[in-house]
Amino acid sequence: MSINKHELRRGAYYDSVVLMQLQRGLLELPGVIDAGAIMATPANRDLLAANHLLPDRIAANSDDLLIVVKAESEAAATEALSQVDALLTRKRAATDQDFRPHSLSAAIKQLPEASWVLISVPGRYAANVARDALDQGRHVFLYSDNVALDDEIALKQTARSKGLLVMGPDCGTAIINGVGLGFANRVRRGAIGLVGASGTGLQAITSRVHELGAGISHAIGTGGRDLKSEVDAITAQQALDVLARDPNTHVIVIVSKPPTPEVATRLLAHARSIGKPVVVDFIGYAPPGRQLGNLHFATTLSEAAEMATRLVRSKLVNDNEAQASLTNRYLRGLFSGGTLAYEAMLMLQPILHPLYSNAPLTNTQLLSNPLHSQAHTIVDLGSDEFTVGRLHPMLDNDLRLRRLRQEAADPEVGIILLDVVLGEGAHPNPSSELAPVIKGIMQGKHLEVVAIVIGTEEDPQNLSAQIDRLAEAGAIVFRSVSEAIEYVAGRVKQFDPSDYPPVALDHFTRSPLTAINVGLESFYFSLKAQGATVIQVDWRPPAGGNEKMAALLAKMKK
């Protein structure tokens, strides 16, 4: 008959890797059937209970070390527990550096050139360690999960104000200047940079890029909540800015589960302001098109890697870098076709904000007064409010001609988009009325008119003649909404540069990478194996895990 014995050590903190190896060491001892070595959190106690290892009526706190042995006899169980210190000592002797500082401040004094702090301590302590790192001017790779959302927001706002990055919480993967942090794969250096709110997504893309023969400049993880509306993609925006300024990054990839619509719009607006191709893979998100300006949309992780690899090898990189944009000017769309207006809204919605219409896709996009545009606006001139008592705009251009002049008079407008629909029963010669007005409104103004012409050569209006006349007037003519929106997306530049200090590029190019590791020793060994200079901190919970005492000590320190 088996017997269970346990030992509880109050306030004795060990990281999960040490405990995993302690558990394995116990399982190798004679007569041991099963074993558990955990920090006694409620979740860990539940796991022990599920495996019939949790002692009855045990009073343990989350910062207590609980060791349980199930053995063939009481003597075997007692002997196994007597080996715990030896197993822990052997583990520490095999891994210890010459001297382990007991605090982050001491580690920074020992390695003042360290730019990065890796944190993988329990979540309830992680925010304070990260805050300490930021206060001492270091970037943070925050692997720890179970960090409060309010703490994440505050940490990232503080980091942004200091020109620092917080990658995480729950950030499992990053590659900085060729050195992998966390669970990154070993990949060759190259010209593709990544921004990822998905750790395994970053791993899948970087591995596939390596397989395709290309390489990675940097892969910057953000943590899974960064693209939620509460956090507002603070780290993702900073990461895009870093990669945009990095001369060794020629193509950028963004990977994430679908962000909230408002955050997606702002992030893609930022990406469109970059003079580099950007591949976007919002996993499970219906892309607005295959390409919008410098944005290239992928639907799978593998496709994102393949797109980035093709782009980095093509002349499109130089083409995008040379492309000019209209900064801080609005788009106004004047449509006679309701379905064409709807398609334009669908394609523009992810990349323009704010976007309004009298035929909105969401309630927040409703144009308050259909007779007056605001910000970016798409107007369906064929909707009921415009056609009561007058002909449909496919027959009568009067309303659209007036609106063309009205939009052109607005100094904030950079592009006017309109459709020209030919066919039986439509206006017999729409360009005869539209072309003179288009030519007139473009005189002496920094303004573009983009026309979508729908029809065939067999239509009575003579398709070629209509296109030629519009082009002669100065309009840029396309034959489909998707082609027109792709062009427009590359011309409307909507991103106001941040007032916050930029993240210093030398922290991403300095070799070797210098870091301080607070938590999992496996990260320390990984960095050492890659040639980084790193110090392991012998971290323990403040005040032995007594939260009231820790709060008092923190108050006294301030």
Instruction: Take residue 72 and report the two structure tokens written for it.
Output: 């063939």
CB burial string 497-521: b at 16+ within 10 A, e below: eeebeebeeebbeeeebbbbbbbbb
101 preceded by cis ω (within 30°)? no
425 φ/ψ sector (left φ>0, alpha ψ -120 to 50, else beta): left
Statement to judge: residues 315 and 333 lie in one domain: no
What is d(CA 279, CA 286) in angstroms, rounded to the nearest whole number? 14
Q: Beta-carbon neighbour count of residue 558 at 10 Å?
A: 5
Closest CA to 278 of 301, 235, 249: 249
Predicted pLDDT at 549: 52
Predicted pLDDT at 541: 78
DSSP 355-383: EEESS-SSGGGB-S-TTS--SEEEEETTS
What is d(CA 192, CA 278) in angstroms, rounded to the nearest whole number? 10
Who's near 327: CB < 8 A, 6+ residues apart? Answer: 493
Q: Which residues of the chain have pLDDT under 70?
A: 90-98, 315-328, 493-497, 543-558
User: Residue 82 domain-assigned?
Assistant: yes
How much helix, strand and coil, in percent to the nearest 5, is found in the chain? 40, 20, 40
Closest CA to 278 of 292, 264, 295, 290: 295
178 φ/ψ sector (left φ>0, alpha ψ -120 to 50, else beta): left
Predicted pLDDT at 64: 85
Who's near 339: CB < 8 A, 6+ residues apart? Answer: none
Among 493, 521, 543, which residue terminates a domain?
A: 493
User: Residue 87 domain-assigned?
Assistant: yes
Closest CA to 242 of 504, 514, 512, 509: 504
Predicted pLDDT at 320: 47
* 217: β partners: none
CATH of the domain at 64: 3.30.1360
Statement to judge: residues 48 and 182 lie in one domain: no
Statement to judge: residues 487 and 528 lie in one domain: no
Among 254, 287, 322, which residue terminates a domain?
A: 322
Predicted pLDDT at 339: 95
Who's near 75: CB < 8 A, 6+ residues apart? Answer: 31
Statement to judge: residues 161 and 195 lie in one domain: no
* 334: β partners: 379, 418
Statement to judge: residues 338 and 479 lie in one domain: yes
Who's near 300: CB < 8 A, 6+ residues apart? Answer: 281
User: Residue 504 domain-assigned?
Assistant: no
260 φ/ψ sector (left φ>0, alpha ψ -120 to 50, else beta): beta
DSSP 35-85: EEEEE--HHHHHHHHHTT-PPTT----TTSEEEEEEESSHHHHHHHHHTHH
Where is 135: in which H helix or E strand? helix 123-135
Predicted pLDDT at 558: 55
User: Residue 149 domain-assigned?
Assistant: no
CATH of the domain at 127: 3.40.50.720
Instruction: Take residue 241 and report the two structure tokens written for it.
Output: 């800015």
Statement to judge: residues 210 and 263 lie in one domain: yes
Instruction: Take residue 492 and report the two structure tokens written for it.
Output: 């409307």
pTM score of the predicted model: 0.79
User: Residue 503 domain-assigned?
Assistant: no
User: Residue 469 domain-assigned?
Assistant: yes
Q: Side by side, which strands form the sheet with 65-71?
A: 3-9, 65-71, 32-39
Closest CA to 503 of 197, 246, 263: 246
What is d(CA 89, CA 196) in angstroms, rounded to the nearest whole number? 39
519 φ/ψ sector (left φ>0, alpha ψ -120 to 50, else beta): left
CATH of the domain at 292: 3.40.50.261
Statement to judge: residues 457 and 480 lie in one domain: yes
**What are the DSSP E strand ranges found in 215-312?**
216-221, 251-256, 278-282, 291-292, 295-297
350 preceded by cis ω (within 30°)? no
Statement to judge: residues 388 and 440 lie in one domain: yes
What is d(CA 305, CA 453) in angstroms, rounded to the nearest whole number? 35
Statement to judge: residues 254 and 337 lie in one domain: no
Q: Which domain holds residue 535?
A: 101-144+157-165+510-558
Is 347 in contact with 292 (CB distance < 8 Å)? Answer: yes
Statement to judge: residues 471 and 516 lie in one domain: no
Among 443, 468, 493, which residue terminates a domain?
A: 493
What is d(CA 248, CA 511) in angstroms, rounded to the nearest whole number? 15
Closest CA to 326 of 407, 240, 405, 415: 415
What is d(CA 312, CA 53) in angstroms, rounded to the nearest whole number? 55
Is 165 in contact with 239 (CB distance < 8 Å)? Answer: yes
What is d(CA 39, CA 60) in angstroms, rounded to the nearest whole number? 9
Domain count of the fold of the chain:
4
Crossing angle of helices 463-472 and 430-442, in 10° steps, is: 10
Closest CA to 252 of 232, 271, 268, 225: 271
User: Residue 499 domain-assigned?
Assistant: no
* 34: β partners: 70
User: Residue 505 domain-assigned?
Assistant: no
- Residue 547 one-letter amino acid: E
Statement to judge: residues 191 and 291 lie in one domain: yes
pLDDT digits over 331-354, tens only? 999 999 899 999 999 999 888 888
Statement to judge: residues 552 and 461 lie in one domain: no
